Structure 1
Amino acid sequence: MASENIPYLSSHRDIQHRGTEHLAINNNFLRRSLALLALKTTARFYDQMGSCVPISKKKLIKMGPFVHLTEAATMKFVTEHTSIPVPKVFCSFVHKNIAYLVMERYQGDELPTAWKKLSERSRHKVFDQLKRMLQELRALKPPHSTKVQSSVGGSLRDSRLPRSCPRFGPFDTIQEFHLWLRDGLQPSQIKGRDNDPDWQEIQDMATEQDGPWPPPVFTHGDLNPFNILLRGDQVVGLIDWEMSGWYPNYWEYTSEWLTSEHTRTEWRDSIHWFLDPFPRELKMEATRQKWWGE
């Protein structure tokens, strides 16, 4: 299996920050102290938003058991290599086995809130902006032509994958990633199922997964409408980069399409405006999620 993998156990949470000190940003005693103090003082004046705790009108701290320094490093990477609007990271550090990311608090409306106010023309303007941003991400050159890994070459996070506890990988090849996704199943080792239509479906999926693949592309990984911030019809921020990394070229499309299938039908039906469709891979992933999904 791939290099640097850690056993996929719940105890992984206790060791997920091991060896990540070099990923911290502007990590010094003063900045750490001010961040921890703000959580006890100014944060009381704001409502917590999931793992994000506002500490002023312009800053928030993302923290929690599943937050990782990789996310801050990813935002820094995207800022340095693209023109995509991403929150600035002021500092990041680990304290008592919890990661803290102090970052810019973007002022804007989540896309579902803004969507109701937009004309059809403005909505397509938003799609055009998203398409250009994703083209920038796809134009980035992977550091390795086969590896599925984070922006810094390490482990990944995807809360939709049952075996992400809380992180997984990296993988030396896309085929190894696919093998992990199906829990190591090798259809050729299973006999006597030739007349089972469900088994044929799984065999077809595995054949597709094991085939040749183009190099991985940089992927946001969680491009749901709540992670897209607007002011008017201008996209002013893409947030929540914790699931990002170098993935197979279909991963952005299939993850968003399948995640939205039952909860955000209108959004699912709109993603073709800014994401290239992968119908064959979508069928492959639908089978994978049916048998190994959430």
Structure 2
Amino acid sequence: MSDEEAIALIQRCPSLQGLGPLNSFGTRAEVWRVTPDTILKALWKPDESYMMELASSKTSIPIPKIRRYITWEGTQYVFMEYVDGSDFYEIWPSLSLWSRFMVAWTLRGYIRQLRAIELPNPDIPGPIQPSGAPLKCQGHYFSERGAGPFHSYSAMTAWYNGRSRLTNVLRNPYIRDLSMIPEPTTFFDDSMPLVFTHGDISPNNVRLGKDGTVWLLDWEMAGAYSQWFEYANMMAYDVDEPEWGWPHGVRWFIPFIAGWYRKQLSFLVKNATGIGHYGFEGFD
């Protein structure tokens, strides 16, 4: 495929319907099926493709093959193979109990493989790139603008504990200076190592191929995070929310798939106000 042919496909995208479900804004992801066996995706985080290639080279996880990149009008695009099949949220209700267990068992194995990958820099959290230098963290448990970059695991821990203090300030209108902030009673758990984490195993990022193969899609939120982050990220999706939430019965499988870390998740949920706020820097 020449550059001219690739650009022509990009220019066709506005006339095509994006893949995946509608989000809360009534739009779809910037992913389009441009030929019967090829999709095109706009990359807003160039490190995503490196993490896909790293996971592909170090594990047996089925991940769509990258065919080529092109930058056009300031945006990087990637052409990948199209996986013919059904998204998790579409097919789950029709699966037998045994088939559901086998999907869960497969995802459990994928997470174990990811956790076994040797990180370029085992003490730097966040998205992974060849140099190992830190990049800004983004995902369910960061603000809309992200956080960091963190130059060490301890720096990310300090940020989260600072967000806990900020939550106390935002929820208590009577606090007028920092000396009035109550001492925290819960803290971010950094007792487990940083591991390679997909970061967004969700109802529309797991796809079952026509032959029953379980594929993992959309590695935009992947990176090096605390071992329990995969569980927390999976639990971020509400039950029974059409298309975006886990279908009924899935949450029973999540601890089996990713481990059970209720205490760590409780810290994130309890401090969601501060974590999600992108102002008031200086609380770490």
TM range (shorter): 0.7 to 0.9
Residue of structure 1 in register with 2:79 after alignment: 102
1:147-188 per-residue CA deviation (whole Å, 9 max, x = no partner) reads 1032213424535356443x543322223113334666768x
1:102, distance to aligned residue in structure 2 (A): 1.1
Residue of structure 2 in register with 1:289 after alignment: 272
Of residues 247, 253, 257, the one that matches 1:270 is 253
Matches within 5 A, 1:89-128: 89-128=66-105
Q: Give me the whole-angstrom Cα distance separating, in 2, the residues matched to 1:169 and 1:101.
A: 26
Change (3 A) 1:261 1:111: closer
Gaps of 5+ in 1: 1-29, 194-198
2:263 is aligned with 1:280:
yes
Residue of structure 1 in register with 2:138 after alignment: 158
Q: Give me the whole-angstrom Cα distance separating, in 2, the residues matched to 1:88 and 1:254.
A: 28
1:232, distance to aligned residue in structure 2 (A): 6.1
2:9 is aligned with 1:38:
yes
Q: Give me the whole-angstrom Cα distance separating, in 1, the residues matched to 2:58 and 2:85.
A: 23
Of residues 182, 185, 197, the one that matches 1:204 is 185
> What TM-score, normalized to structure 2?
0.77
Q: Give me the whole-angstrom Cα distance separating, in 2, the residues matched to 1:97 and 1:213.
A: 41
Q: Give me the whole-angstrom Cα distance separating, in 1, the residues matched to 2:271 and 2:149.
A: 20
Tell me the SS of whatever aligns to 1:204: coil
Of residues 148, 162, 181, the one that matches 2:125 is 148
Tell me the SS of whatever aligns to 1:94: strand
CA contact (8 A) 1:112 1:225 kept: yes
Q: Give me the whole-angstrom Cα distance separating, in 2, the residues matched to 1:68 and 1:31.
A: 24
Q: Which has the higher helix share?
A: 1
1:255, distance to aligned residue in structure 2 (A): 2.0
1:45, distance to aligned residue in structure 2 (A): 7.7
Instruction: Work out the percentage of aligned pairs sharing the same amino acid.
Output: 22
CA contact (8 A) 1:51 1:62 kept: yes
Of residues 215, 226, 234, the one that matches 2:193 is 215
1:31, distance to aligned residue in structure 2 (A): 4.4
Alignment: residue pair count: 250
1:33-79 per-residue CA deviation (whole Å, 9 max, x = no partner) reads 322111235x5785222210211011111116xx2221111111111
Q: Give me the whole-angstrom Cα distance separating, in 2, the residues matched to 1:80 and 1:31.
A: 27
2:217 is aligned with 1:239:
yes
1:246-289 per-residue CA deviation (whole Å, 9 max, x = no partner) reads 01111111122133368436333331121111122112111221
CA contact (8 A) 1:51 1:63 kept: yes
Tell me the SS of whatever aligns to 1:60: strand
Q: Give me the whole-angstrom Cα distance separating, in 2, the residues matched to 1:282 and 1:184.
A: 15
Residue of structure 1 in register with 2:282 after alignment: none
Change (3 A) 1:162 1:170: closer
Tell me the SS of whatever aligns to 2:204: helix
Gaps of 5+ in 2: 20-28, 167-176, 278-284
Change (3 A) 1:151 1:291: closer
Q: Give me the whole-angstrom Cα distance separating, in 2, the residues matched to 1:212 and 1:39.
A: 43
Change (3 A) 1:35 1:218: same
Opposite residue 216 of structure 2, the aligned amino acid is: L
Residue of structure 2 in register with 1:131 after alignment: 108
Q: Give me the whole-angstrom Cα distance separating, in 2, the residues matched to 1:191 and 1:59.
A: 58
1:214, distance to aligned residue in structure 2 (A): 3.1
Matches within 5 A, 1:170-185: 170-181=149-160
Q: Give me the whole-angstrom Cα distance separating, in 2, the residues matched to 1:127 and 1:279.
A: 19
Q: Give me the whole-angstrom Cα distance separating, in 2, the residues matched to 1:292 and 1:184.
A: 5
> What TM-score, normalized to structure 1?
0.75
Residue of structure 2 in register with 1:57 after alignment: 36
C-alpha root-mean-square deviation of aligned residues, in Å? 2.8
